[in-house]
Amino acid sequence: MTKNKMCEGRICAVTGAGRGIGREYALLLAAEGAKVVVNDFGGARDGSAGGGSNPAQDVVDEIKAAGGEAVAHLGDASSYADAQAMVKLAIDTFGGIDVVVNNAGILRDRMLFSMSEEEWDAVIKVHLKGTWASSRVVAEYWRNRAKEGLKNDGRIINTTSVSGLYGNPGQSNYGAAKAGIATFTLIAAEELARYGVTCNAVAPGALTRLTEDLGLPPEMLERFGPEWVAPVIAWLASSQSADVTGQVIESNGSLLGIAQGWIRGPHVTNPPLDPHEMDAVIRGLLAKATPRTKMSDIN
């Protein structure tokens, strides 16, 4: 029996979709019936110029060859003007936009004491500002539609990381950006619910250009292909997920789970004013607290 295409007619834009995990997102969304704007600047994994390559168009050609609909956008995901152009391209080409997947990212790994200002700024700009830019543009579009009495079934799907959720040495820039994206997701979910829009984040575990240096053992490699993460994106992009918002989902070929962020743990009411009493009180609370998940705990 032929399965219904879960994203039939949905109009989706995916940033950083020319290679790796973003490419898998775009291909699966198209295979499930979506019309896709494939965004990719064409740069190297550190964000430098990519030597004139056009991976976005390559993905578009692949989608079209399989009978799907897609268009390439070569803008910089961290540019507000380019984000405006990407959303406009979706509207002009396909008649609207239903889904934005913020996936574009770079790495500039360095220990804190060695990290340059440029390495910090570049990573924060692409990941955190890039997520804000397209979200800001599409949120205004959906809000204006709602004010006109039109119904939205909108989705913002952000990319966080276990590095941002649990902390990974050598990635203070990347981890801070990804943690910021997780919190950004929670706030955007609250703000946009009234307009028929959900906002969720995915923390993918996948081997791409950004993770090729990890040196995972062979038995893990087959479970860390980007194709294992794409099904979660397709589901979030579909109408099936309309009642799910403000969630952070961990996804790889070995694990699918809900990440639980800041929750109030052990506490006291009417805390002491005397600083000399703080040591005993705080240590008592720490003894009752659940130890945080660390990167070394991840399977």
Distance (Å, whole) CA 236 – CA 29: 11
**39 within 8 A of 123, measured Cβ to Cβ:** no
Which of 25, 141, 174, 195 is flagged as catalytic? Answer: 174
Distance (Å, whole) CA 236 – CA 155: 7
Q: Which domains does the chain have, with CATH numbers?
A: 11-264 (3.40.50.720)
Give pLDDT tens digits along the chain (299 positions): 668 999 999 999 999 999 999 999 999 999 999 999 999 998 655 555 554 569 999 999 999 999 999 999 999 999 999 999 999 999 999 999 999 999 999 999 999 999 999 999 999 999 999 999 999 999 999 999 999 999 999 999 999 999 999 999 999 999 999 999 999 999 999 999 999 999 999 999 866 544 555 555 666 666 778 899 999 999 999 999 999 999 999 999 889 999 998 899 999 999 999 999 999 999 999 999 999 888 877 75
pTM for this entry: 0.91
Q: Is 25 a catalytic residue?
A: no
**DSSP-assigned letters across all residues of 62-110:** HHHHTT-EEEEE---TT-HHHHHHHHHHHHHHHS---EEEE-------B
